[in-house]
Structure 1
Amino acid sequence: MSSSKKVAIIGAGPSGLVAAKTLLHCVPAGSFAPVIFEKQHAIGGLWPTKRPTVRGLIDPSMRTNLSRFTVAFSDLAWESVLGGGDVPMFPQAWQVNQYLATYAEQYLPREIIRVGHEVVKIVRLTREGSRPRWEVQWRETEWNSKTDTRSERFDFLIVASGYFSRPYVPDIPGLDGFTGKTVHSSALSTPEDMDDLVENIDASGGKVVVTGASMSGVEAASALALHLSSLGLASSSPSRKPFEVHHVCSRPFWTVPLYIPDPRQARFLPLDLAFYDLGRRPAGLVEYGYGRVSGQQAKKSNNYFRSLLGGDYECIGSVGVSSTNDEIEEIPPPWVAIGDDYAEYTRSGAITATIGRITTIHSHPNGRATVDIRNETTNDVTSFDNVAAIVMATGFTPYSSLSFLPADVLSQLEYSTTDPFLPLVLDGKGTSNAAVPELGFVGLYRGPYWGAMEMQARSLAQAWLLQAEQDVPFSDEALARKNAEREAVRHVRGADPRLHRSQFPMGDYVGIMESFARDLDIHRTPLSDDGDRSGPVVPARYPAEKGSVAQADIVVDSLRGVLSPDLKGHALAGAAATAVFRALHGTWRFERVDSRGGRDRKVRGTSIFCPRYPSRPGCGREYVCEEMEIEDGSPRRGSRCVYGLTHDSTSRRDDPISISVLVEGDNPSQSMGLQVSYVPTDREGITVCAVGHQPLDGSEYRYVFQFDGVVITSWECTMLSNNEDEMKTLYTRGT
C-alpha cells in the first residue's frame, strides 16, 4: 500500500476505540491512519468516570449485567487494569471506563483521539475515475461555547457513535397533560432520584407506573421496590410516602439472575458463561443464525428457561409467558431481562406486573391520573387509578447517531425513521452496505457485545485492506453473499414486531463470533487439553494474530479457574454466596427445636427478609430479617438481624455473607461471617452449605440450602455448642 489510508471514526466509546486499535495493530503497520472524533470531553461513551462532572445515562456505581470475561476485548485482561488483585466478576460502570482508558493508553496514540470534537456534517465526495472520499465537518466544543466549523477529508468512515444515543419517550395520548412526575428510566438511579419521583405522594398513597419490558423496565421497577422497602424499614421514615409499584410490560419476558446453574455440574456460574457455552450448540458447524423467530423457537426458549431456572421460579420470574400446555402456534418470543431481585419482589407483591401497553392517560385536577392499558393479544383493557408518577423505561433511539450522514447515503442504506429496531439495512453482519463500500459500522445495533464489536472492526479492516489493493471492491461471490444478507434483513424488518422479532436483531452471539472467526481465519483457543468444542464464547478465546496474546492468556487461564471442577475456588464460593443471598429474599416459615438447657422447646413462626439500602461500608446488599414466633396461637416478635453481602462476592473474602444481630436503634450487638461452599450430593439440584462462628460465645452455626434451579426450596440452620446440637431450625417458603 503506497500510503496510509485515512479513516474517520465517529465516537470514542468501546466500539470506536476497538476500531482504531484494530486498524493500527491488526493489519500491516501503516495501512491505516485513524482519527477518532468524540463530542464529549472524555472517552468511554456511556461508561462514566467515577465522579462524572456531567450526569450521564449510567450511574457510575451500577454493575455490568455480564461478567468481566464478556465485557472486555481479547487483548486486555481486567487483571492488568485493576492491578491483578481482586477483580470483580461484574465490574462497576466507572471501572469499565477505567478499563477503556487503560485500553486507549496501551494501544492508541494520544493525538488520534480528538475529544471535544462534535461532528456536525459529513459529505461524500465522488469524482469519476477515483474512489469516493469523506469530508468530515466538525467543531470543537468548549465547556460553554463552540468554535467555528472546520473540515478534513478521509478515505474511509466508521460510525461508532452508539445505538443508545437518545432516550425514547413514546407519544401516548394524554401524556402531555399529566401534571404528575414523568421521568425516563435513565434519570432514575440514586435514592435521591427515587425521593424526587415520589415526593408528592402523601399518606393517601399512589401508584408509580413503570412502562417497558426490557432490561431498564426490570431495573427501574426493582429500584423503586427497594426504595419502598428501605423507607418501610427506616425508623425515621415519614409515613407520608407509601406507594405501589406497577410494571406495565408490552411483551412476555423472563428475568434471569446474575448467577444461574451450570448444566454440567452442581454449582452456579455467571449467566453469560452458561448461556454462551459452545456445548449448547448442536453438532456440526456453528453458523450465525439470523431471521424471523417462529412459534416453535419461542416455545423452545421458554422450555429452556423452565428447565434451567426451576419450576417455582416460572411463577415469579416470568411475565406473560405461555404455559407448557399452550397449544397456540404463534406465540411471541420471550425477552430476557437480567435482575437479581425482580422475581422475589413480584412474589411479595412489591411489584405488580401487567401485560399490555399504555394507550391513554386521563389526568385529574389533583395531579393524579387514570392510565389505560390494553393487552394486544386479548384486547382487554385494564385501568390504573391514582397514578402519581410514570417511569418511561422505553429505551433509546439511534437516530442522532446517524443524523450527520448525507441524505443520499442514508437513502442507499434504506434508512427508516420509524423502525429503531432496524434503522438501516446492512450486510457484513452489521458492518457495511455494499452500495457504500468505504463506509463501516461498529457496534451500531441494539445490544452489541464487546466481542462482536471487536470482530466487526477486524472484518472492516480486512475488507478495506483488500479494497485498497483491488480495483473492484467485491468479487461476484462476495457481492451475491452481501445481497442475500441484506435481503434477510429486509425480511426481518417486514416481520410482525410482536410475533416474529427477537429481542435483539443480532442476538446470536455464539453464532456471530464463530462465523466471524471462520471468515477471518481466527482460531479459537481451547479450554481443555482434548480441544473439544466446549466452554463459553468470550473475546479472549479469539485473539488477533498480531494482538497481545499474553493478555488473552491471562484471561483464558482465569476462565479455566472459574470453570474448574475444584469446588474450593473463591469465584465458585462467591457465586454460591450470591445465589444464596438473592434467594433468601422474602417470607419463610420455620420450625425450630431448641435443646438448650436440656429441654426440647418447639417453636414455629415466620422470618421475613426485607431488602434495604446498604448501611455499612463494604456491603453491597443488605436484608433486615425480622423473625416472628407463634406461641399459643399468638405472634411474638423474635430476633432482628441484618444479613449483608460483600460488594463483590467473588473477592478473596472467606466470609462473603455476614449476619449481625440488631438491638434497639439498629445497633449490632454481635456479628459473624459465613464461609460458603458447595456440597457434593447425589440429589437433584444444587446444595450449598455455610458455616459461621459466633465470637462471643464460641457457638458454631451450620447452614444447608437446597436449590431447585435458582430458588431455595428449603434451608436448615443448626447451632452447635461444644460440638452438640443445641438448636435446629428448618425453613420452608411461606407467604
Structure 2
Amino acid sequence: MPKTVCIVGAGPSGLIAAKSLLHDVPKGTFEVSIFDSQPRLGGLWPSKKDDNGGLVHPLMVANQSKHTVQFSDLAWPKDAPELPQAWQVGRYLERYFKAYCLEAELYLETSVEKSENTGSGWRVHTRSKDGDLEERVFDYLLVASGYFGKPAVPESSVVPENPEISVIHSSKYRNLKVLLGEGNPNGGKILVVGGQMSGVEIAGTIATHLSSAVHSPGTSSISNPEKYSLHHIIQKPVWVMPLFLSPRATSPVPPFLPLDLASYNLANRPHPLTNTQGHITEESAIRTSSLYEIALGTNQSIYSAALAVTHKDNANPQYLAVSDNYSEFVRSGLITVSQGKLERLCGHEATISPTQEKIDDIAAVVLATGFKASDSISFLPPSVLETLSLSSQDLNNTIALAFHGTHHPSVPNLGFVGFYRSQYWGIMEMQARFVTSLWMAGGPTSDSLTPAMKQALDKDTSIERTIALRTDPRASQFPMGDYAWLMQEFAAALDLKRLDHLSVMPALPPAGIGMNILTPARYPSKSLNEFQRPEVTKSLKMTEATVWAAMSSTRFVAKGVFRSLLGEWKLERDLVSKLPSHPSGHFSGTAKFLLREGTRDGREAEFDKIVEEGGDVGMEYLYIEQGDFKAANGFTFRATRRYIWRYNEKQDELTVWFAKTDDQKRADYLFHKVEFSVPKGDNEKGWKATAGHMCIKDYYDVKYEFRFKAVNLTDWNLAYTVNGPQKDYTIDGTYTR
C-alpha cells in the first residue's frame, strides 16, 4: 500500500516536495495531496503580470538569475531573461507542476486549519473556499508553507492602528497611486522603515517609480510627483549589490555576470567547503567586508556617509542587500538615509531612536519589517509547536529542526521543505530529497538508513546550533547556513555527485583556475529519466554559454554601463571646428541621467510587439545636459541638449535617441546604437565603443570609452567627428562624477 502524504503549500517548496515523493523513489511508494489557500499554485510567485493579490509584486525582478532560480531537472526557455520577473517565475512553476506533479491531488483555495498527530499518522482538517470542512487521515505531513506567513508590523505604540496617513507593508506596495491616492499638492516624504533586503529593494523600487512619474511624458498618475522624496530608516549600513557583478572586479575592463554566477564560483573557495554563516568571528567579518568592497569598488562612501561601511563596522557581521538603483538614488538625493530605529509615528512626524531625530512632512509609510513564520505553521498541534521551539522573540523566524531544516527526530512523520532563508531553490530541492529518503528508509532511527545518511544524522547539530544563534549577537544575516556548503552537505548525505561542467570554463587570474559555477543542475537526481536528462544538459549548457559570452565577448557590458549612468555628471567638452560657421570653444556644465520606465515613442512597432508577447519594455533615461559654451571668440551662451538613452535587455543593446524639439521628454528617432568592442589587450583603460549616424549628408563618427572601478563608472569619454558638406568639426567630452 502506498503511504499517503499531505503537503501544505503549493509554492516552489511544495511542488519540489511532491516531485521528489513521486519520482525520486519507486513509483507508487507515496500518494501525494497538496493543499493551498490561494486560487493558484506558485506560493509567493504570481503567474500573471496583473496578479496583485499576493505578497510579491508580479513585476519584481528576481535578485538571482534563471540559472539559480530553477530546479535541476527543468531548464528555462532559451529566450527567458537572465533575471526573470516574479510572474515569469510563476509561469516556470506552472510548467514544473505539469512536468512532474500531475499525479498529485491538488486542492487550491483550501486551507489547512488544524492537524492532529495520531502517532501512526496525521488527521488533517481543511476548509474549502465555500467554507466546507473536511477531515482526512495521512501517513505523513509535509510543511511547505514557507517563511512568509504574515507581514510583521511594529506594535501600536510605534505605529498607531489607525494612522492619519497611508501605512502599508512592503509586500503590499504596487504603485504610487495605491500608496498615495491622487497625491498631495504639497508632496511630502515617503518613509521606508527597515534596512535589510526588502527595505533596500522597496526603497529602490519606489524611487524608480517616483523618478519615472516626474520625468516621463504625459500626465502622472499622482499630482506633483516632483514634490515627493524618500526617507529610509536603516539600523546599520548594509552592502548594496547591483544585479550584475564582475568576476574580475579589479580589471579596468571588467566583464559582467548576474551576481549569483559571479558569487557562486566554487573555484574561489578551499575544499571541502566550510560553513561561512552562523556565528561570525571578527576575522571572518573583516574578510567578508573586504570582499564586498572589492566587488563594489567602494565602501559606499561615494554615495552617502550614511551608507558607508567604515572601519568600526568591518568587525561586525556584514549584511547584504540587492538593488540596481538604490545607491545612486541615495547619491542623487532622491533617497535620504537615517540610521536608527523607528521609535514612534505620530501624525505626519516620525521619531528615530536613539538620536531622537524628527522626520516631518511624511505623506506615507512603507514598512519593510519582514514576516512572521508562526502563521505558516499555526495548523500544527500545540505540543508539536512546543517541540519545534518557535520563538516570537527570534527575528530570524527559525524553528528547531534537524539536518538543515528538514525534520525533528521527536516527530518522525513530520517533514519540512523550504524553511530556509537566502538562496533557496537548490536547498529546497535537497531538502525534499532528504525528507523523501528519510521516509523511504522508515525514519531517522531506522536500520534501513544508508551509511551516508546515518553518518550525516549522527554528526548533525542543527537543532542546538539554531537555538544558540537566536541569542548570538554575532549571528549572520542568514544563520541557517552557507548555500554552497549546505549543497555539499546534502549531497554527501544523499550520495549525490556534483556534475562536472560539460566544457572547459574560463580561467580567472591570478591562479588561472577555471570557473566552477554552482547551480542546481550540477546536482541532478541519481535516477534521471528520458525527460529529465536533456533538461539537465540544457540547463548546464545555458549557464556555461552565458559565462563564456560574458568572459570572452561584450555580453552584459551595455547593462553594466546603463545601470551606472544614473544620476548627475560633471561634463567638460571641447569643440574644434574647421569651418567659421561652427565656432570652436569649450562647454562646461552638468549631464543628468533621469531614470524612467521605457516609453513607446520612436519605436512603436517594436514596443507593441514586446507588450503583446508579455515582455519587459525595459528602462530608459531622459538625458539633460545644461551649461555654458564659451566660444574661441570670447562669446558665451547658455547651452542645453536632450536625448533618450535606452537599454534593450533581450538584445543586450544600448541606444541613444534624439528628443523631440516640441516635446523634449519624448523620443523622436534613433541617433545611434552603442557598439562595444572586445578589448585588444591588457593595456586597455576602459570599455570602448563606437557608433555612427548619417544626418542628411553629414556623418557622425562616435567613439566612447567607459572607465570602471569594479561595477561603477568613475568617468567616461564621448567624442564625435562630424564630416560632410555642412560640417567639419570634432567634439571631445569627459564625464566625471
TM-score bracket, normalised by the shorter chain, equals: 0.7 to 0.9
- Corresponding residue SS for 1:454: helix
Partner of 1:201: 184
Amino acid at match of 1:125: T
Deviation at 1:530, TM superposition (A): 6.7
Distance of 1:694 and 1:550 partners within structure 2: 48
Deviation at 1:347, TM superposition (A): 0.8
Amino acid at match of 1:311: T
Partner of 1:577: 558
Distance of 2:287 and 2:534 partners within structure 1: 40
Partner of 1:710: 711
Deviation at 1:223, TM superposition (A): 2.6
Q: Structure 2: any 5+ residue segments left out of the alignment?
A: 506-512, 601-606, 611-616
Does structure 1 residue 139 correspond to structure 2 residue 127?
yes
Partner of 1:49: 47
Deviation at 1:172, TM superposition (A): 5.2
Does structure 1 residue 99 correspond to structure 2 residue 103?
no
Does structure 1 residue 481 correspond to structure 2 residue 481?
no
Partner of 1:372: 351
Does the CA-based 8 Å contact 1:61-1:94 persist in structure 2?
yes
Deviation at 1:89, TM superposition (A): 0.2
Does structure 1 residue 64 correspond to structure 2 residue 62?
yes
Amino acid at match of 1:310: G
- Corresponding residue SS for 1:316: coil
Amino acid at match of 2:80: V
Distance of 1:469 and 1:456 partners within structure 2: 14
Partner of 2:316: 332
Distance of 1:546 and 1:50 partners within structure 2: 34
Amino acid at match of 2:33: V
Partner of 2:337: 353
Aligned residues: 691
Of residues 518, 521, 527 in structure 2, which corresponds to 1:537?
518
Superposition pairs of residues 322-471 of structure 1, within 5 angstroms: 322-324=309-311, 326=312, 331-363=315-347, 368-369=348-349, 371-374=350-353, 379-467=354-442
- Corresponding residue SS for 1:162: coil
Distance of 1:33 and 1:353 partners within structure 2: 53
Amino acid at match of 1:348: S
Cα deviation code 1:684-712 (max 9, x no counterpart): 87525353545655423222111011111
- The worse-fitting range, judged by mean Cα deviation, of 348-357 and 441-450 is 441-450
Partner of 2:150: 166
User: Structure 1 524/234 Cα, relative in aligned 2: closer, same or farther at 3 Å?
Assistant: closer
- Corresponding residue SS for 1:699: strand
Distance of 1:188 and 1:677 partners within structure 2: 41
- Corresponding residue SS for 1:59: coil
User: Structure 1 333/676 Cα, relative in aligned 2: closer, same or farther at 3 Å?
Assistant: same
RMSD over equivalenced CA pairs, Å: 2.8
Cα deviation code 1:495-541 (max 9, x no counterpart): 12xxx122222251111112211221211122265798842211011
Distance of 2:114 and 2:332 partners within structure 1: 52
- The worse-fitting range, judged by mean Cα deviation, of 225-234 and 510-519 is 225-234
Does structure 1 residue 590 correspond to structure 2 residue 607?
no
- The worse-fitting range, judged by mean Cα deviation, of 503-512 and 725-734 is 725-734
Partner of 2:247: 262
Does the CA-based 8 Å contact 1:253-1:319 persist in structure 2?
no
Partner of 1:14: 12
Q: Structure 1: any 5+ residue segments left out of the alignment?
A: 127-131
Deviation at 1:397, TM superposition (A): 1.3
Distance of 1:155 and 1:399 partners within structure 2: 24
Does structure 1 residue 546 correspond to structure 2 residue 524?
no
Does structure 1 residue 311 correspond to structure 2 residue 298?
yes
Of residues 166, 179, 183 in structure 2, which corresponds to 1:181?
166
Distance of 1:422 and 1:312 partners within structure 2: 30
Partner of 1:129: none
- Corresponding residue SS for 1:287: coil
Partner of 2:285: 298
Amino acid at match of 2:644: V
Does structure 1 residue 30 correspond to structure 2 residue 28?
yes
- Corresponding residue SS for 1:416: coil
Distance of 2:637 and 2:374 partners within structure 1: 59
Distance of 1:229 and 1:469 partners within structure 2: 55
- The worse-fitting range, judged by mean Cα deviation, of 391-400 and 589-598 is 589-598
Partner of 1:279: 267
User: Structure 1 320/596 Cα, relative in aligned 2: closer, same or farther at 3 Å?
Assistant: closer
Partner of 1:221: 203
- Corresponding residue SS for 1:123: strand
Does the CA-based 8 Å contact 2:568-2:590 persist in structure 1?
yes
Partner of 1:522: 496
Partner of 1:645: 647
Deviation at 1:620, TM superposition (A): 0.6
TM-score by structure 1 length? 0.88
Does the CA-based 8 Å contact 1:642-1:662 persist in structure 2?
no
Does the CA-based 8 Å contact 1:67-1:89 persist in structure 2?
yes
Does the CA-based 8 Å contact 2:63-2:83 persist in structure 1?
yes
User: Structure 1 698/110 Cα, relative in aligned 2: closer, same or farther at 3 Å?
Assistant: farther
Does the CA-based 8 Å contact 1:37-1:114 persist in structure 2?
yes
Amino acid at match of 2:272: L
Cα deviation code 1:106-159 (max 9, x no counterpart): 111255222222111111002xxxxx3111111221xxx321x11222121110
- Corresponding residue SS for 1:703: strand
Amino acid at match of 2:63: N
Amino acid at match of 1:513: M
TM-score by structure 2 length? 0.87
Distance of 1:636 and 1:194 partners within structure 2: 40
Cα deviation code 1:589-632 (max 9, x no counterpart): 22222234446432222111111232223531111111113135
Deviation at 1:469, TM superposition (A): 11
Partner of 2:700: 699
Deviation at 1:429, TM superposition (A): 0.8
Distance of 1:568 and 1:114 partners within structure 2: 49
User: Structure 1 386/195 Cα, relative in aligned 2: closer, same or farther at 3 Å?
Assistant: closer
Cα deviation code 1:338-396 (max 9, x no counterpart): 11111111111111111110112233xxxx22x1112xxxx433221222321111121
- Corresponding residue SS for 1:665: coil
Partner of 2:509: none
Deviation at 1:668, TM superposition (A): 3.2
Deviation at 1:69, TM superposition (A): 0.2
Deviation at 1:560, TM superposition (A): 1.3
Distance of 1:412 and 1:567 partners within structure 2: 50
- Corresponding residue SS for 1:437: strand
Partner of 1:625: 623
Distance of 1:480 and 1:190 partners within structure 2: 51
Of residues 726, 729, 732 in structure 1, which corresponds to 2:732?
729
Deviation at 1:259, TM superposition (A): 0.7
Deviation at 1:563, TM superposition (A): 1.7
- Corresponding residue SS for 1:97: helix
- Corresponding residue SS for 1:513: helix
Distance of 1:53 and 1:714 partners within structure 2: 41
Does the CA-based 8 Å contact 1:230-1:611 persist in structure 2?
yes
Report percent identity of matched pairs: 32
Amino acid at match of 2:128: E
